[in-house]
Structure 1
Amino acid sequence: MLISMTSEPELQNGVGVQDSFQRLWTPHRMAYIKGENKPSGPEPTDGCPFCAIPAMTDEDGLILRRAEHAYAVLNLYPYNGGHLMAVPYRHVADYTELTAAETLDVAALTKQAMVALRTASGAHGFNIGLNQGSVAGAGIAAHLHQHVVPRWGGDTNFMPVIGHTRVLPQLLADTRKMLADAWPVD
């Protein structure tokens, strides 16, 4: 991950006029902007990352915990450090389509995530929620996933509010290990 802050203009190809703005370059976010890892359609075979992740190792898939009917995984494009999701294994789009067992696993993983995040990083609070459908903000609407976003007092400053940029202090692999180690024993 390349992050650099500069007040110098971009001078590639002689383009750029110096101004007083600081710039935080986060080129890794371009993958999200271009829709990388988004399925091409509604079926599991259309490239759903939530269907592919369980076949990976925990480290490669950024999986924190596996339950019988769902798993917890770090978000590749987090709002805050430690942002994770509880995801059913079954490719299902709507919360009302979950079985009772899937609902219990998603709920249990959410509770365990809160304990792990408080233990590992001292989270003060959480935003927890489901975005049902693309019109509700779901980036991958075809496969249900519940977000668990840790929050700390003062974690929203000018960067996300004005600059529409998140500054994350830790690599995802390091965050995964820290949270997996802090995950409560079943």
Structure 2
Amino acid sequence: MTDETLHQDGIGHPDDLDRLWTPHRMAYIRGENKPADGSSGECPFCRVPGLDDAEGLVVRRGELAFVLLNLYPYAPGHLMVCPYRHIADYTETTDEEAAEIADLTRAAMRTVRATSGAGGFNIGMNQGHVAGAGIAAHLHQHVVPRWPGDQNFMPIIGRTKTLPELLGQTRELLAAAWV
């Protein structure tokens, strides 16, 4: 298809820009991995602990909680800390669960800093659908590494996130370096 054909067909105007396609994001947009309901039988965070670490993208397992890579990361090394127990709200954690979630979060930060030199982190829990939780039925805390200048034109204007390696490679690196 020529530039002239593109213009005539109304498909778009040539602008001499290369395109970065991220078709894997459509699964997230369509909600393909979201539970149909809030039950533990439909929950991916309840299913992951039964998988082997590489398949489930699990970086570290604790007694009451585990750490895994986000399947749809905001940045390279985007981790989530989840209790094994299927609970929706942070106020439902036991003291022991809350302590282990905090300990795993600190260890995740140390590990990501040691392996990638992250300059900072966004850490948080979106509680409920109205607060932006993609999977509101199972508590999970995001640990998102940040670097100077990482919010350049790609996510803001291009609405694209670039990741320098496959998730499996990132999982292997972080699991091997866990501190």
Same-fold call, TM cutoff 0.5: yes
Larger RCO, structures 1/2 (Cα 8 Å, 6+ apart): 2
Equivalent-residue separation in structure 2 for 1:90 and 1:169 (angstroms) = 33
Check the 8 A contact 1:9/1:17 in 2, yes or no.
no
Q: Which one of the candidate residues 27, 35, 42 is aligned to 2:38?
A: 42
Equivalent-residue separation in structure 2 for 1:138 and 1:59 (angstroms) = 25
1:72-151 aligned at under 5 Å gives the runs 72-151=67-146
Q: Which moved more, 1:21-30 or 1:153-162?
A: 21-30
Equivalent-residue separation in structure 2 for 1:139 and 1:164 (angstroms) = 19
What is the CA distance between 1:17 and its match in structure 2?
3.7
Amino acid at match of 1:30: M
- Calculate the aligned-residue CA RMSD, in Å: 1.7
Amino acid at match of 1:172: L
Check the 8 A contact 1:9/1:16 in 2, yes or no.
no
Secondary structure of the residue aligned to 1:37 is: coil
Structure 1 segments unaligned to the other structure (5+ residues)? 1-7
Matched pairs, number: 174
Change (3 A) 1:103 1:9: farther
1:3 match:
none
Identity fraction in percent: 60
1:62 match:
57
What is the CA distance between 1:24 and its match in structure 2?
1.6
Secondary structure of the residue aligned to 2:37 is: coil
What is the CA distance between 1:16 and its match in structure 2?
2.9
Structure 1 position 31 matched with structure 2 position 27 = yes
Q: Which one of the candidate residues 135, 140, 155 is aligned to 2:150?
A: 155
Equivalent-residue separation in structure 2 for 1:38 and 1:138 (angstroms) = 11
Equivalent-residue separation in structure 2 for 1:76 and 1:17 (angstroms) = 31
Q: Deviations over 1:73-114 (max 9, x none)?
A: 000000000000000000000000001111011101100000
Secondary structure of the residue aligned to 1:23 is: coil
**TM-score under structure 1 length normalisation:** 0.89
**TM-score under structure 2 length normalisation:** 0.92
Equivalent-residue separation in structure 1 for 2:81 and 2:12 (angstroms) = 45
Structure 2 segments unaligned to the other structure (5+ residues)? none
